[in-house]
Amino acid sequence: MAESRPRVGLFVTCLVDLIRPSVGFAAVKLLEQAGCDVSVPRAQTCCGQPAYNSGDRADTKAIAEQVIAAFAGYDYVVAPSGSCASMIKKHYPGLFADDPPLRAKAEELAARTHELVSFLADVRGVEAVESSFSGAVTYHDSCSGLRELGVEAQPRKLLDSVPGVEIREMEESNVCCGFGGTFCVKYPDISNKMVTNKAGFIAASGADTLLAGDLGCLMNMAGKLQRQGVPVKARHVAEVLADMADRPAIGEPGQAGDPAGGAG
Amino acid sequence: MLQSSSPAFKENARAALADQTLQKALGNVKAGFIGKRAKARARLPEFEDLRDAARDIKNHTLANLDFYLERYEEKVLASGGQVHWAATAEEARNAILTICRDAGAKVVTKGKSMISEEIGLNAHLEEAGLDVVETDLGEYIIQLRHETPSHIIAPAVHLTKDQVEADFRHHHDELPADRSLVEPEQLVAEARQMLRHRYLEADVGITGANFLVAETGTSIIVTNEGNGDLTQCLPKVHIVIASLEKVVPNLEDATTILRVLARSATGQELSAYTTFSTGPRRPEDLDGPEQYHVILLDNGRSQMLGGEFQDMLRCIRCGACMNHCPVYHAVGGHAYGWVYPGPMGAVLTPSLIGVDEAGHLPNASTFCGRCESVCPMRIPLPRMMRHWREREFERHLSPKAVRFGLAFWAFFARRPALYHRLLGLKMRVLGALGRAQGRFNALPFAGGWTKHRDFPAPQGKTFQQLWAERQKGGAGS
């Protein structure tokens, strides 16, 4: 009997939606290759972290309720971001401690929610992806994905399966890049010190491409590398895994082309 | 209490970032602590289980704190010591000064104690005419420099070796100019030589406590220099100053927590000295103080019991959170503006001096979670920093620009249809503007970002727009 295709609701994340939709299409392609039917609920905006981390509980809860409703009924919810996936998985249930019915819904959603690469490797058992790439990459472990969801070996394993990828680990790959959501604009000088350190380690790795699983961190690091004139390209790891690394890298000039199509 | 400069955190941080000598010294934090802790942890297979056990011991103790404190007091009294309950810093200072005066003290030696920093003890005793001598090497150095500790276990970590050598040459009159002070051991020997006769002159010795043991009335200190032992054994009066939450039920519990303490702090299995003190000297003892006093300080801690910050009272002051904190690495401990820096300070300081005063501290974190991942007591530090942000938000203490920006954003984030229409248009404009360069050098309303880094241009249409086109008939393929 053929295995039924699980229904996956893609949590696009606000940054991918607005800044780099090609990452969303890379995620769709990878999920489809892993045997999933992908839908994109229209009633999603953001996971609510800007409000949550600013102490604004009321707006956080309203946004969480919106996400809970929008993603009801899918077998899985997958986000191309450890940070947003962790917000839903680890933090939503605690928002409704005093509201048992909503708490139950939040817990049920949390159980179905995954970060993209760990979903592919751990839930769908993907061992190798259909892609090819030419170059040396270094992988930055974004904080929430690493420490709240245990995303560490999975992206490296899948990258290893891509012909032409050479992984060059940077020093302190598991140390924060200084993005931190609103932190980088609330404390710009400290954030700058952190991303300067990070850019130094990236450059020292000798890699020509920086990969990570979170667009916020990537924009921060890419922006710093470019300001410093360091010729390292930055991409979401999904772009390489989905064989969609042919469009301009983050912050690189040129026609975006068609974020949805191309090599797919 | 010690005056705080926490409201000026941003200015403090900026100055720290521009201070090249400080930045050089801060490199020692990463180099000196992180690898050693990781190795110590790797050598002990049951380390994670011990963290659970240590957390559970403290949780149990905090849930029964009144019982264990009364039991502890009983045992101290039974061993011939005295207990002084101090609700505030002022009460603690006065109790200590009274003991010193009653003893006719002129010279007071001190082991390292963050509580004494918290209550501003040195200044108080000096104003009363006492000669106060810090005996921990780091504390001794910063006392010479009239500074405060920048780290809870390495008080002078903000200084380079060269600075310390210069201080010694300046202050130690009898130091021959040709004596080498290049190696850390030589600096230690020099300080030791200066301190040796001060131990013998001292009338009162003051130490902190890492643990107070309810079962036996014992106070425990851990040190690496042995200065604590000399401080508490040689003078005729020993004063222990400790906050309420240092109590543990019994010696077994203390040793369980000791197994994670030094490993988390310095990567040692145990510190060089672990010293147990129970009461004053007994007739059959060869040495020891004639009087043994314990000052039990509250200073806001009992207010934390039963609330969302109670977990913070599990803290054993190992320093692992700040040793692993990228913000601490960037700005050092003094920028935090009060006694306790780093992640533990970001949670504890608002509890003790008010979030109005220390509001920056829990905000100056990326929530990277590295602190929680190494905390031997499994204190959820990021969660509690977020709780402080919630308190600030509720009380309208967050900056107006932040509140306004957040309200504006949330209005749209809560209305998906409007959100997609508005931002879809905006991204197309930004995408078109940024396409040639691929990024922006400066952007209105994003100065904090573009001051230091470029902002990548959006690709153009949003994912939602492209997805809708693709669903409608393959416009995207």
Domain shared by B244 and B393, yes or no: no
Q: Which helix (H) or strand (E) holds B110?
A: strand B107-110
- Following DSSP, what letter does each residue of B360-426 receive, concatenated? HHHHS-----HHHHH-TT---HHHHHHHHHHHHHHTT-S-HHHHHHHHHHHHHHT-HHHHHHHHHHH
> Are A192 and B456 an interchain contact pair (Cβ–Cβ within 8 Å)?
no
B178 touches chain A (CB under 8 A): no
- Tens digits of pLDDT across chain B (477 residues): 678 999 999 999 999 999 999 999 999 998 889 999 999 999 999 999 999 999 999 999 999 999 999 999 999 999 999 999 999 999 999 999 999 999 999 999 999 999 999 999 999 999 999 999 999 999 999 999 999 999 999 999 999 999 999 999 999 988 888 889 988 889 888 998 899 989 999 999 999 999 999 999 999 999 999 899 999 999 999 999 999 999 999 999 999 999 999 999 999 999 999 999 999 999 999 989 999 999 999 999 999 999 999 999 999 999 999 999 999 999 999 999 999 999 999 999 999 999 999 999 999 999 999 999 999 999 999 999 999 999 999 998 888 888 888 999 999 999 999 999 999 988 889 888 888 899 999 887 788 899 999 999 999 999 999 999 999 875 444
pLDDT at A258: 67
> Are B452 and A227 an interchain contact pair (Cβ–Cβ within 8 Å)?
yes
Domain shared by A17 and A76, yes or no: yes
Whether residue B427 is contained in a domain is answered as yes
Q: Which helix (H) or strand (E) holds A136?
A: strand A135-140
> Which chain B residues are closer than 8 Å to A236 by Cβ?
none
Whether residue A256 is contained in a domain is answered as no
Domain shared by B422 and B362, yes or no: no
ipTM of the complex: 0.96
Closest partner residue to A259 (CB to CB) among B365, B438, B466 is B466
CATH at residue A227: 3.40.50.11810
Domain shared by A73 and A16, yes or no: yes
> Which chain B residues are closer than 8 Å to A187 by Cβ?
10, 13, 363-364
> Are A175 and B326 an interchain contact pair (Cβ–Cβ within 8 Å)?
yes
- Following DSSP, what letter does each residue of B227-283 receive, concatenated? HHHHHHHSSSEEEEEEEGGGEESSHHHHHHHHHHHHHHHTS-SS-SEEEEE-SS--T
pLDDT at B383: 98
With 0-12 CB in 10 A as exposed, 13-18 as middle and 19+ as buried, what is A127? exposed
Beta-carbon count within 10 A of A101 CB: 8
Domain shared by A146 and A80, yes or no: no
pLDDT at B184: 84
Q: A26 to chain B: nearest residue by CA?
A: B463
pLDDT at B416: 94
Counting the structural domains of chain B, the total is 3
Kindly state the average pLDDT of the residues A44-62.
Answer: 96
Domain shared by B299 and B436, yes or no: no
Domain shared by A112 and A152, yes or no: no
Whether residue B445 is contained in a domain is answered as yes
Confidence check: pLDDT of A150 > 70: yes
Q: How far is B301 from chain A (nearest CA, A)?
A: 23
Give the whole-angstrom CA distance, residue B324 versus residue B404: 33
pLDDT at A1: 45
Whether residue B310 is contained in a domain is answered as no
Counting the structural domains of chain A, the total is 2
Domain shared by A110 and A149, yes or no: no
Whether residue B394 is contained in a domain is answered as yes
CB B346 within 8 A of CB B365: yes
Domain shared by A193 and A173, yes or no: yes
- For the entire predicted model, the pTM comes to 0.96
Whether residue B193 is contained in a domain is answered as no
CATH at residue B139: 3.40.50.10420
Whether residue B357 is contained in a domain is answered as yes
Whether residue A264 is contained in a domain is answered as no
Q: Euclidean distance between the first and final Cα of chain B, in Å?
A: 68
Domain shared by A52 and A145, yes or no: no
Whether residue A25 is contained in a domain is answered as yes
Domain shared by B255 and B373, yes or no: no
Q: Give φ, ψ of B136 to 5 degrees.
A: -70, 135
Whether residue A226 is contained in a domain is answered as yes
Strand order in the sheet with A113-115: A37-39, A7-10, A76-79, A113-115
Domain shared by A109 and A145, yes or no: no
Whether residue B188 is contained in a domain is answered as no
Domain shared by B380 and B424, yes or no: no
Closest partner residue to A193 (CB to CB) among B330, B370, B467 is B330
Whether residue A78 is contained in a domain is answered as yes
- Following DSSP, what letter does each residue of B297-310 receive, concatenated? E-TTSGGGTTSTTG
Confidence check: pLDDT of A40 > 70: yes
> Are B435 and A53 an interchain contact pair (Cβ–Cβ within 8 Å)?
no
Domain final position from A75, A96, A122: A122
Whether residue A46 is contained in a domain is answered as yes
> Are A24 and B463 an interchain contact pair (Cβ–Cβ within 8 Å)?
yes
Q: B389 to chain A: nearest residue by CA?
A: A55
Domain shared by A115 and A132, yes or no: no
CB A191 within 8 A of CB A182: no
Whether residue A1 is contained in a domain is answered as no
Q: A149 to chain B: nearest residue by CA?
A: B369
Whether residue A77 is contained in a domain is answered as yes
Domain shared by A135 and A91, yes or no: no
Domain shared by A91 and A43, yes or no: yes
Domain shared by A68 and A105, yes or no: yes
pLDDT at B439: 92
Domain final position from A57, A87, A122: A122
Domain final position from B303, B330, B359: B303
Closest partner residue to A21 (CB to CB) among B386, B392, B459 is B459
Provide the domain limits for residue A186. Answer: 128-241
Q: How far is B382 from chain A (nearest CA, A)?
A: 10
**Closest Cα partner for B318 from B382, B269, B376, B268?**
B376
Domain shared by B135 and B232, yes or no: yes
CB B422 within 8 A of CB B386: no
Give the whole-angstrom CA distance, residue B461 versus residue B468: 11
Domain shared by B361 and B415, yes or no: no
Residue identified by tokens 């400080």 is B22
Domain shared by B372 and B437, yes or no: no
Q: A27 to chain B: nearest residue by CA?
A: B463
Pairing of strands B218-223, B211-213: antiparallel
Provide the domain limits for residue B369. Answer: 320-400
Beta bridge partners of A2: none
Pairing of strands B82-86, B107-110: unpaired
Q: How far is B326 from chain A (nearest CA, A)?
A: 7
Considering only residues B28 and A79, tell me which one the structure prediction assigns the higher pLDDT. A79
Q: A256 to chain B: nearest residue by CA?
A: B459
pLDDT at B474: 58
pLDDT at A257: 62
Domain shared by B157 and B291, yes or no: yes
pLDDT at A255: 65
pLDDT at B475: 46
Give the whole-angstrom CA distance, residue B449 versus residue A142: 19
Those of residues 244-303 in B touching chain A at CB distance below 8 A are none
Q: How far is A141 from chain B (nearest CA, A)?
A: 11
Whether residue B336 is contained in a domain is answered as yes
> Are A226 and B453 an interchain contact pair (Cβ–Cβ within 8 Å)?
yes
Give the whole-angstrom CA distance, residue A174 versus residue B30: 14
Domain shared by B385 and B430, yes or no: no
B406 touches chain A (CB under 8 A): yes
